[in-house]
Amino acid sequence: MILNDAKKVLISREQIEQRIAEMGRQISDDYRGRNPVLVGVLRGSFVFLADLIRAVSIPLEVDFISVASYGSQKNSSGVVRLLQDLNTNIKGRDVILVEDIVDTGITLSYLIDNLKTRNPASLVLCALLDKKERRQKEPGILKYVGFTIPDKFVIGYGLDHAQQYRNLPYVSWVEEE
């Protein structure tokens, strides 16, 4: 279908690797002596999270949460559904929420409000990509950002289009149909 498009590289494998090494070092410095829980938001973040944790040199735990936003593939409706909850009790824990991309911010804002009710000791957001231009709701806790990108629908490195392309080792984009 759009395989030719997927060959265009927006962010290369090497750029991702280098930036994640920096982010991992920063998280290790910021959380030294603590034992943070890194919470991956399924499904898009699993590739990023897998690489990120191996760039962090301090003890940590990993858990996952899954949400779905009603609406078309490219536009959040604002109505969010929790599909799979955490297994970890995050009360009193330092939580780092790990996302593939912050787009409108609608899904994340819901998730953040939900996690805050569980009284973590701290809660910050770490995203590989930030599509700032599209923001409707600002998740105030965005602390670690890999790359700020233009308003393009991106695929690869965990991000999908109709569930395809998550396995691309770099970030590419889809042309508007």
Q: Name the residues that contact ligand IMP, by CB under 6 A.
A: 44, 69, 76, 99-108, 153-154, 159
When the beta carbons of 107 and 125 are compared against ligand IMP, the nearer one is: 107
In angstroms, rounded to a whole number, what is the distance separating the alpha carbons of residues 100 and 147?
Answer: 11
Neighbours of 160 (CB within 10 A): 16
CB of 81 to ligand IMP, least distance (A): 12
When the beta carbons of 106 and 125 are compared against ligand IMP, the nearer one is: 106
Of 121, 172, 144, residue with least CA distance to 55: 144
51 membership: H or E segment, kind and range: helix 46-53
CB of 33 to ligand IMP, least distance (A): 31
In angstroms, rounded to a whole number, what is the distance separating the alpha carbons of residues 125 and 142?
Answer: 5
From the list 51, 94, 100, 103, the catalytic residue is 103
CB of 6 to ligand IMP, least distance (A): 12
SS3 24: helix
Of 16, 97, 28, residue with least CA distance to 60: 28
- Known active-site residue 151: no
When the beta carbons of 104 and 120 are compared against ligand IMP, the nearer one is: 104
The residues carrying an active-site annotation are 103
